[in-house]
């Protein structure tokens, strides 16, 4: 996550903390060490090409059979 944001600061809008119930209950500051890649506002698959590193991660880890 940090490497991607250092390489491309614009990715900081796309990589967001994922805070779940355990994070809320165990950390008074509600910090999490988990992150999500936010791409829900991209309407067409071609829009993913603007974020090649994120697209690669999603295709490899989220859509391995696609």
* Model pLDDT for residues 24-49, shown as the tens digit of each residue: 888 788 778 889 999 999 999 899 99
Q: What is the pTM of this model?
A: 0.73
Query: Which whole-number Å values give the CA distances from 40 to 6, 14, 31, 52, in the listed order?
Result: 23, 10, 23, 16
Nearest-CA neighbor of 35 among 23, 44, 43?
A: 23
64 pLDDT band (50/70/90 cuts)?
low
Region of residue 65 (phi > 0: left; psi between -120 and 50: alpha; otherwise: beta): alpha
Tokens in use for 57? Answer: 């991660």
């Amino acid at each position: 996550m940090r490497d991607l944001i250092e390489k491309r600061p614009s990715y900081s809008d796309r990589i967001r903390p994922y805070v779940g119930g355990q994070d809320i209950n165990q950390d008074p500051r509600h910090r999490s060490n988990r992150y999500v890649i936010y791409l829900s506002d991209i309407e067409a698959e071609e829009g993913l090409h603007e974020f090649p590193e994120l697209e690669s991660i999603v295709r490899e880890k989220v859509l391995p059979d696609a």
